[in-house]
Amino acid sequence: MARVWFGVETTYRKSLIAKNESALGGALKAKESRLAAATAVNSAE
């Protein structure tokens, strides 16, 4: 029983970590695109 629960917990944790990483990756990409947009505006001025 404990082994089954451990397997479920591990799978759940992995999916949680994957979700967090994809959210973090999305935030970083958004930050980069904002930075690129700001740079483009600055160089256009």
Question: Could you tell me if residue 40 is inside a domain?
Answer: yes
Which is more confidently placed, 6 or 27? 27
Q: How far is CA 2 from CA 8, 26, 32, in A?
A: 10, 36, 44
How far apart CA 21 and CA 26 sit, in angstroms, is: 8
Region 14-37 average pLDDT? 87
Record the tokens describing residue 4, joined without a space: 């089954």
Number of domains in the chain: 1
Residue 2 pLDDT: 63
Residue 44 pLDDT: 77
Residue 20 pLDDT: 87
Question: Could you tell me if residue 2 is inside a domain?
Answer: no
What SS3 state is found at 38? helix
Question: Could you tell me if residue 37 is inside a domain?
Answer: yes
Of 25, 5, 28, 27, give the one whose Cα is nearest residue 17: 25
Residue 6 pLDDT: 75
Domain limits at 39? 13-45
Residue 21 pLDDT: 87
